[in-house]
Chains A and B, each alone.
Chain A
Amino acid sequence: MSTRVNPTFIDDLDRFGAEDVQLCYQCGDCSTVCPHADEVYKFPRKSMRFLQMGLDRKLETTLEPWLCYYCGQCSEQCPREADPGETMMSLRRWLISRYDFTGLAGKFFKSRATEVLAIIIVALITGSFMLFYGLSRGSFHIYDGEGAFLPSGFIHKFDLTVGGILALFLIMNAIHMWYLVMIKGSPFPVSPWLYIKQLYQLPWHFFTQKRYADCEKKRGHALYMPWLLHLGLMLGYVTMLILVMVFIERLQAGPEIRWEVHIFGYLASIGLIAGTIYFIRGRFRKHYIQYKKSHGTDWVFVVLLFIIVLTGIAQHIFHRTGLLELANITYIIHLMSVVPWLLRMPFSKWSHLIYRPLAMYFAAIRRDAITQRETILSVNPVLIK
């Protein structure tokens, strides 16, 4: 069965950031230097070729873009300056928009104005809702406990609602991804046992980002710095997310806060601040090839995150020092950035968090399935036509 070429695809991808892909002449240098490319998953060369050929129907079923952690070695090696690393990144952005059934992700990636507008709208709705709630129920001069401006019980319910919406989007998109990759993109059915056997891949890759550390480029840094910071940033916001989602009532219980909560909160904050500053600095200085081209959405991501972290910490300081009105104001600003940032997750690069471990999981399953099939074929070729 032949695959239809979509000549307009390459123009579409341009808006996701893949500007130079047509310069590639398929020498394969990129795949040679890539520490992750192997016999089964040949990238970036093959992904580049599919993109050059306008084979979007093939590409939407591939896992290769997710297997790349953008160390940038391929882009440094490329004799044609076709920037394979950025192309893989653009393909991930495009894949996020493909998995997303609402179509919002694509719109945000293609137009920064739309994204910023959506964020402002969500922020304003959140802000006015909080202001309205706070003024009608509590006192502006009280931060926590009885008669608080934004009581923790209410925020807890609010967080859970937002989290629920978020989870719903993510789960739907993840199912879509599974369908595209494992059903549509698989030439043969995969045994359910493999899904169970490889299940450990999900938490393993989620928490360690092991393959990111495997990028030779990252290994070359002292103390695996980029990986460590990335991990710190990621674990930081996951810890923070859990703290806020689950333990917010204890966080704001009153002047006395349990030390476990404190420790986790401070550690997570340090991770977040260090990571955010590191990546913002990187994007400004462009000293790594990965940061040579920042897509509009990359900026929105780090800038919002930075505001969230700053307001979160400021809030804590104001609360501790008794400046309760200021604490309430920063709280509202904090929520105004958190909600759009969270709701944006399924439609943005943030969804890496989910798609990457999933992709590792699927990749391992597929690799096993291929080995299995080859074993069967080598024993009895007639079994599979």
Chain B
Amino acid sequence: MCGTNIAKIVDVEEVARFASGLPNVALAKSYKYMCSNPGQEMITQDIREHNLNRIVVAACSPNMHERTFRSALRSAGLNQYLFEMANIREQCSWVHTDPVEATEKAKALVHAAVRKVELHEELESVSVDMCPNVLIIGGGIAGMTAALEIADAGNLVHIVEKNDHLGGNLARIDLTAPYLYSARDLLTEKITRTNENKKIHIHLQSKVTDLTGFIGNFKATINSLNGKETGKKKPVEIEIGNVVVCTGYKEFDASRIVHYGYGKLPNVITSFELEKMIRAGRIETKEGKTPKYVAIIHCVGSRSQEFHTYCSRVCCMTALKYAHEIKSANPECYISDVYIDMHAFGKGHEDFYRRSSEAKTLFLMYEKGDRPVIHKADPKDGCEMLIEVNEKLSGELIEIPADMVILMVGMEAREDSHEIARTVNISQDKEGWFIESHPKLEPVATTTDGVFIAGTCVAPKDIPDTVAQARAAAARILARIAKERIEVDALYSEVNENLCSGCRLCNTLCPFSAIEFIEEKKQSHIISALCKGCGVCVAACPSSAIKGRHFTDQQVLAQVDGLFGID
């Protein structure tokens, strides 16, 4: 019944009566909350008392509670695959308004499930060895954090880094907001520990060109990018059990926004160019003068329809940090902060915002989509540039004088992220960020078992979030390594070797790269640990040589018969 969720539209008693009249049905009951503990116990007891050998639960989506009921079967000593769910909530009561017709549909769904479950077979899940080695792609703060965590537990870690040094994007930054810790200090400790750890193999100026196998049993090929200097290095092949992808971000190309004249006006610079100046210890214009008026423009490339609709999350606080740094380097300097919204969501951020306000920074708001325009100023204006802004809070059209303009460039997926996604077989969203297997409950796992994602390759985020994700991925991997073996769901497809003609049609179709071709036999073989049982190969096989376990042709056809009321 699911409380009133199902019962208010579907006459569940009527469905139960109908089910008890079906052939091979020994017992049919309705219950208020079948997924509750008493509900499960009822199933367990009925199995024992009535010696039931197949169970159908007509309730919600199997996504929700299939696991719950399977475990009820297991505790009654029945094979967990001798079970089927009829979804009469999401696919029936929630989407229909006519109780009579909805009840009829529920009956049909139950009938179909009964017909299918009759043909279910006892299946056993398989378990495979877990290789304790880990591959980490990307040697930034996320990569090093995860590597140290895993290596400190005694496992071998390979870090593959594209650049000739570790540190990633964080190495380009001077101080971090809001506590103004030195990024160099944060990194040096991590880099030293990473370099000194004997369990960590660092592959600099390299990239992963191939990844095959499945969770616990991957094989990766690492190619050196630095062929010219050291002579052609041979690709390295390594065996690993898990992969963490933390390839980071690249900054938005500011010259794409013509309003800001980046690349044309010499003193319009990006935030990273300013970081470089601060690290060198001098904030000055291209002419070598100390700027009197500095303007900071937020959301460059972020939160706009033409470029990226998302918020890059770190720029607001970084801008406040610049205001602080410039003002303390030169108290005579005046800073205008041109923003859309001030996103001060994190720990300590609001206080940092307040302190920046007290430092007499001018906060000027512009409307999303109504970008400021930067002009070259007249010599009589007493400044280098004038920024024209439609100030949102006052409704006034204003001109801000500026000798230097800092563009807070947002984060973007790296240009080679597509390549990485293909290599490790994970998906990307429309902006190019890697997709997690569940945005809230599985933030570091992907749809490929054994491949994890962490840091700013998933979405823009700040250092604490990046580090937390890296450690989360490491924890997930360490838990699996500790178990030594890994259970794989029994729902996979099998090739009947007697029927396979070796056409290899299925090899290319498989979305999980789970089918390999065995040259000696000239036949395809499905790696059960990789197969998700999606059934693409089953449908495609011209010689019907592939059987989808738990979804055999007979089972599906019986289910269809059931839908139409055929016994």
Contact = CB atoms under 8 A, between A and B. Distances in A.
Nearest to B400: A5
A5 B362 contact: yes
Given A2-B388, A5-B336, A10-B362, A53 B398 contact: yes
B401 interface: yes
B159 interface: no
B358 A8 contact: no
B417 interface: no
Contacts of A224: none
Contact of A7 (B357, B393, B396, B401): B401
B388 to A, nearest CB: 6
Contacts of B517: none
Interface in A1-32: 1-5, 7-8, 10-11, 14, 22-23, 26
Tell me which of A11, A46, A53, A55 has the highest count of chain B C-beta atoms within 10 A of its own C-beta: A53
B319 to A, nearest CB: 15
Nearest to B353: A25
B364 A23 contact: no
Contact of B334 (A2, A7, A26, A52): A7
A36 B335 CA distance: 34
Nearest to B402: A7
A7 B293 contact: yes
Contacts, number: 60
Contacts of B65: none
Nearest to B388: A2
A49 interface: yes
A52 B363 contact: yes
B399 A2 contact: yes
A3 B399 contact: yes
Contact of B360 (A3, A11, A26): A11
A8 B357 CA distance: 14
B123 to A, nearest CB: 61
Contact of A50 (B335, B394, B400): B394
Contacts of A26: 393
A184 interface: no
Given A7-B335, A49-B394, A53-B364, A23 B358 contact: yes
B354 interface: yes
B399 A8 contact: no
A22 B398 contact: no
A10 B394 CA distance: 16
Contact of A55 (B336, B357, B396): B396
A72 interface: no
Chain B interface size band reads: 20 to 34
B361 interface: yes
Contacts of A4: 386, 398-399, 401
Contacts of B358: 22-23
Contacts of B394: 46, 49-50, 53, 55
Contacts of A58: 396
A54 to B, nearest CB: 6
A124 B357 CA distance: 45
A22 B355 CA distance: 10
Interface in B248-289: none
Contacts of A1: 397
A223 B526 CA distance: 94
A32 B214 CA distance: 65
Interface in A36-59: 46, 49-50, 52-55, 58
Nearest to A4: B399
A23 B398 contact: no
Interface string B393-430: 11011111100000000000000000000000000000
A8 B396 CA distance: 19
Contacts of B360: 10-11, 14, 22
Interface in A241-295: none
A58 B293 CA distance: 20
A22 B356 CA distance: 9
B376 to A, nearest CB: 15
A30 B358 CA distance: 20
Nearest to A23: B357
Contact of B401 (A5, A23, A49): A5
Interface string A116-136: 000000000000000000000
A22 B361 contact: yes
Nearest to B334: A7
Given A4-B401, A10-B362, A53 B334 contact: no
B239 interface: no
A101 B397 CA distance: 29
B337 to A, nearest CB: 11
B397 to A, nearest CB: 4
B391 interface: yes
A10 B327 CA distance: 15
B364 A5 contact: yes
Contacts of A52: 362-363
Contacts of B364: 5, 53
Contacts of A54: 362
A58 B396 CA distance: 10
A1 B388 CA distance: 10
A50 B386 CA distance: 18
A53 B366 CA distance: 12
B293 A55 contact: no
Contacts of B363: 22, 52
B501 to A, nearest CB: 72
A5 B372 CA distance: 14
Interface in B43-99: none
Contacts of B398: 2-5, 53, 55
A112 to B, nearest CB: 22
A8 B334 contact: yes
A5 B394 CA distance: 13
A8 B361 CA distance: 10
Tell me which of B293, B360, B398, B400 has the highest count of chain A C-beta atoms within 10 A of its own C-beta: B360
Nearest to B360: A10
Interface in B144-194: none
A1 B391 CA distance: 13
Contacts of A49: 393-394
Interface string B210-253: 00000000000000000000000000000000000000000000
Contacts of A23: 354, 357-358
What are the nearest 4 A-B pairs in CB distance? A7-B334, A22-B357, A2-B397, A5-B400
Interface of B: 293, 334-336, 354, 357-358, 360-364, 386, 388, 391, 393-394, 396-401
9 contacts: A2-B388, A2-B398, A3-B399, A4-B386, A7-B335, A7-B400, A11-B334, A52-B362, A54-B362
Given A11-B360, A53-B398, 6 more contacts: A5-B398, A5-B401, A10-B362, A14-B360, A23-B357, A55-B398
